[in-house]
Amino acid sequence: MNYKIAVIPGDGIGREVVAQAINVLKVVGEKFGHNFDLIEVDAGGCAIDKYGEPLPAQTLEVCKNSDSVLLGAVGGPKWDTLPGNQRPEQALLGLRKGLGLFANLRPAVLHNALIDASPLKPEIIGDGLDIMVVRELTGGIYFGDRRRDGDAAFDTMKYSIQEVDRIARVGFEIAMKRGKKLTSVDKANILDSSRLWREVIEKVAKEYPEVEVNHMYVDNAAMQLVKNPKQFDVIVTGNMFGDILSDEASMITGSIGMLPSASLGTEKLGMYEPVHGSAPDIAGQDKANPIAMIISAAMMLRYSFDMEEEAQSIEKAVTNVLDKGYRTGDIMSDGMKLVGTKEMGDLIMKEI
Catalytic annotation present for 219: yes
Burial class (CB in 10 A: 0-12, 13-18, 19+), 20: buried
Chain segment 288-345, per-residue pLDDT in tens: 999 999 999 999 999 999 999 999 999 999 999 999 999 999 888 889 999 999 999 9
Q: Which residues touch 347 (CB under 8 Å, ≥6 apart)?
A: 321, 324, 326, 339
For residue 255, pLDDT beyond 80 = no
Superfamily of domain 119-252: Isopropylmalate Dehydrogenase (3.40.718.10)
Please pick, among 116, 155, 192, 219, the residue that the annotation labels catalytic: 219
Q: Which residue in 12, 13, 9 sits closest to 341, CA to CA? A: 13
The Cα–Cα gap between 188 and 198 comes to 7
Please pick, among 78, 97, 130, 142, the residue that the annotation labels catalytic: 142
Whether the model pTM is above 0.75: yes
Please pick, among 11, 42, 186, 243, the residue that the annotation labels catalytic: 243
> How far from the centroid of its chain's Cα atoms is residue 191's Cα?
27
For residue 187, pLDDT beyond 90 = yes
100: amino acid identity, one letter: G
Chain segment 151-167, per-residue pLDDT in tens: 999 999 999 999 999 99
Cα dihedral sign for 308, 310, 311, 316? Answer: positive
Chain segment 266-288, per-residue pLDDT in tens: 889 999 999 889 999 999 999 99
Same fold, 1-101+267-352 and 119-252: yes
Domain boundaries, the chain: 1-101+267-352, 119-252
Please pick, among 4, 181, 217, 247, the residue that the annotation labels catalytic: 247
pLDDT score for 125: 86
Catalytic annotation present for 281: no
**Domain 1-101+267-352 is found in CATH 2.60.40.1180:** no
Please pick, among 3, 11, 42, 187, the residue that the annotation labels catalytic: 187
